[in-house]
Chain A
Amino acid sequence: MIRYLIKNNFKIMFRNGINLIIYIIGPVIISAVLASAFSALFESYESVGDFKAGYSIEEDSELIPYIDILKDIGEENGVYFTEYDPGTAEESIRDHDLGGFVEFGKDSYTVYKSEDAKSEGAILNYLMSTFFTAMISGDVENIDIHVEHPDYAPAIDSTDYYGIIYIVYFGWLAIVCAAGLLSNEQKHRIPERLHVSNLSAFQIYMSRLIPLVCSVALSLGIAAVLNSVLLGVHWGNILLSSVIVLVLIIAASSFGLMLYEFTGSMVAAIFIAFALIWSMGFIGGTFESYIMSSLPEGLKHLMPIYHANRSLVELSSMGKSDYVISAITIPAVIALVCSGLTVGTACIKRRVR
């Protein structure tokens, strides 16, 4: 029943020249600019050579049997471990010019990084988490096989990084693409016609959500192709990456439509969405690469955009990522919750009007 409504809403969005400029040209230009501006940063990160790392271990630690394996794996990957006394992480890093320090507790570990060796710290962190994951999941004998070549090197250059990250960022700003349609609807009081025809709140919602997702996905699809062709951006796994981007566009669209339903104003909805998504991007690696960012990991993990950024970047650089699942499920949950709240609010508004 709402097929034609969806089709025409899509036409309205897609005919809006500003949308096309924002969603197709925008990511390409910003990616190009940032990629060249920050290429030096990424290169220096890539060329990190071998380095020394310190570790300490408590006497009763359950991890003692694994230390030798870890040392071997470290050596294979250019990280040379030396033991120091427990509780001396900071001074050891300072005094011995270490790239980082790992403190083993009873059954856990803490990685210390230094401001002067952020890249080394990131590599050490990656090595440790890969090693630990392998240790927990695999049997002891096979550990060295699992992490024989830890793909820590986020061998991602600035072009790939920003080429991918800005598709994500614009995807999160999906609601902007609906601005023309929704403000026109409001100005000409078109929803009245929809209500007179007895369309349900759910149908009206879907008639906005579906074309919004389609237009943003289509525009960003074109932008992604342009990014690949013009800038040479690589996407590791096109199918999986597409799914991740699509789900986040759905989440962003339903989030934006929810803000619109709550505020009743397109300007307010866009303003709030912009502020929130900018902050999320700020923490989650949109502007400063999340690899370099010194913000706490926990905080980054709270940002849905970080999961998308990281999974897509890792898919590009190493063909797989532990963040794929969260990059899909978090936005899926957001989409469901926001959709429910939007339709619910619309129903209530209608009943009291």
Chain B
Amino acid sequence: METILKTVDLTKKYDNRTVVDNLNLEIKKGEIFGLLGPNGAGKSTTMNMICNLIKPDFGSVEFMGMDFRKNKNKLSDKLGYIPQHLAIHGNLKAWENVELFTSLYGIKGAELKSRIDESLEYVGLSERRNDYAKTFSGGMKRRLNIACAIGHHPELIIFDEPTVGIDPQSRNFILEKIRESNKNGATVIYTSHYMEEVEAICTRIAIMDNGKVIASGTSEELKKLVSDDTNSITLEEVFLTLTGKKLRDM
């Protein structure tokens, strides 16, 4: 399969602490790639470097065969980025938020209108399109956050922990939608610290800790690393075995 995105020795340090350490990821066209890791593993920092929001201290990102940083103009509309935080305007209505962020990719007029309808429909917010985002529940804001990043039909969509802090219904809905996007042709990078989610939707998984990938493969392959009996163990056990049981977030 064709490689859509590749990180080459990607490295980032903050105050002499290496947050992302010589990272080499390769994402194939058409897959749902899961980046699994505890809080602070460096997932968001990696995604930010991929999106050119942070400059790597070392290494580069190859997107569609080109150095992304040097070819931003050509490539940026092929990427959709759903940040971990809610980057939406509370004082704009749902449809206005989508309009604002979709229009950044040069879409306008009737085309823009139909993309807004489509994006809101996609995340199930059509009926609330005229409500201010600040009146939304956490789950609805999460969905709106997604709608704002997909209206330009990107070929690669990055979801950075899109299900943090929301109810199971919204979470299932979002996972379902990610699958749907993938079926429609988009490649997906999905970061999370929830094992079940990653196991449920990802075709390939990399486990990241302390800025390094410590294991990667399909969920079956990962389980085999820990035990021969892959049916009796969960990805969670693999994860804990590999990353250790020390508390994070300290």
Residues of chain A at the chain B interface (Cβ within 8 Å):
1-5, 8, 11-12, 15-16, 180, 184, 188-190, 192-199, 352-353
Of listed A2, A12, A190, residue having the most chain B CB within 10 A = A190
- With A196-B53, A198-B72 as contacts: A4 and B91 at CB distance below 8 Å: no
- Given contacts A11-B96, A197-B101, A198-B77, are A1 and B91 in contact (CB under 8 A)? no
A residues less than 8 Å from B88 (CB atoms): 188, 190
CB distance from B68 to the nearest CB of A (A): 11
Q: Is B51 in the interface zone, CB < 8 Å from A?
A: yes
- Chain A residues in 8 Å Cβ range of B105: 197
B25-53: contact bitstring with A at CB < 8 Å (1 yes, 0 no)?
A: 00000000000000000000000100111
Cβ–Cβ < 8 Å partners of A5 in chain B: 100, 103-104
Contact of B16 with A by CB under 8 A: no
Contact with A184, one of B79, B89, B106, B112 (Cβ below 8 angstroms): B89
Q: Are A189 and B103 in contact (CB under 8 A)?
A: no
B54 touches A193 (CB 8 A): no
Contacts of B72 in A (CB 8 A): 198
A261 to B41, alpha carbons, bound, how many Å? 31
Find out whether the CB atom of B76 lies under 8 angstroms from the CB atom of A198: yes
Contact A195 B53 (CB under 8 A): yes
Q: Which chain A residues border B81 with CB–CB below 8 Å?
A: 192-193, 196
Contact B76 A189 (CB under 8 A): no
Question: Across the interface, which residues of A come within 8 angstroms of B101, CB to CB?
Answer: 193, 197
Q: Report yes or no: B89 in contact with A4, Cβ–Cβ below 8 A.
A: no
Task: Count how many chain B residues have C-beta atoms less than 8 Å from C-beta atoms of the other chain.
Answer: 33
Least Cβ–Cβ distance between B153 and chain A, in angstroms: 13
A278 to B87, CA, bound (A): 35
Task: Give the residue of A3, A180, A192 whose beta carbon is less than 8 angstroms from that of B103.
Answer: A3
> Of A3, A184, A197, A199, which is in contact with the most chain B CB atoms at under 10 Å from its CB?
A197
A3 touching B104 by the CB < 8 A rule? no
Partner of A195, one of B52, B90, B99, B106: B52
Given contacts A5-B103, A192-B83, A193-B81, contact A16 B73 (CB under 8 A): no
Instruction: Tell me whether B226 is interfacial, beta carbon within 8 Å.
Output: no
B104, A194: Cβ atoms closer than 8 Å = yes
Q: Across the interface, which residues of B come within 8 angstroms of A352, CB to CB?
A: 55
A235 to B55, CA, bound (A): 54
**Known contacts A8-B96, A196-B51; is A3 also within 8 Å of B108 by CB?**
yes
Task: Check if B104 sits within 8 Å of A199, measured CB to CB.
Answer: yes
Cβ–Cβ < 8 Å partners of B104 in chain A? 1-2, 5, 193-194, 197, 199
Closest residue of chain A to B83, judged by CB? A192
When the two chains form their complex, are residues B103 and A184 in contact, meaning their CB atoms are under 8 A apart? no
Tell yes or no: B202 within 8 A of A by CB: no
Are A189 and B100 in touch, CB under 8 angstroms? no
Which B residues are in CB contact (< 8 Å) with A194? 104
